[in-house]
Amino acid sequence: MTVQSRIEEILTQNFAPERLAVINESHLHAGHHPDITGAGETHMRVRIVSDKFTGMPRLARHRAITALLKPELDAGLHALAIEPAAPGETVGW
């Protein structure tokens, strides 16, 4: 299973999102670190809309997602951009 698939599965199980996009942006970061070639799954962007974020401050949303994905970060995911929203909130994507 890919990192992207695991992230999608974890977030789907825990947040039951109405919208979810996990985007591999690794190719955009090739060469900014000696071990990052851009070929793998080192940089991910998460765009998620879930009822579970209603009334939750932005920092708490980020912490909740980061806590769930800690095993992926510990296993080599170098960067995680998080764009969480509750239904009805304006998003730029």
Residues 6+ apart with CB under 8 A from 57: none
Whether the CB-CB separation of 68 and 33 falls below 8 Å is answered with no
In whole angstroms, what is the distance from residue 18 CA to residue 93 CA?
A: 14
Instruction: Give residue 76's pLDDT.
Output: 85
Instruction: Give residue 20's pLDDT.
Output: 98
| Adjacent-strand bridge partners of 82 | 46
For the chain, 93 residues long, the average pLDDT of each consecutive 10-residue run is: 95 98 79 56 92 98 98 91 97 91
pTM of the model: 0.86
In whole angstroms, what is the distance from residue 36 CA to residue 8 CA?
A: 22
What are the φ and ψ backbone dihedral angles of 2, each rounded to 5 degrees? -80, 165
| Adjacent-strand bridge partners of 22 | 46
Instruction: Give residue 33's pLDDT.
Output: 56
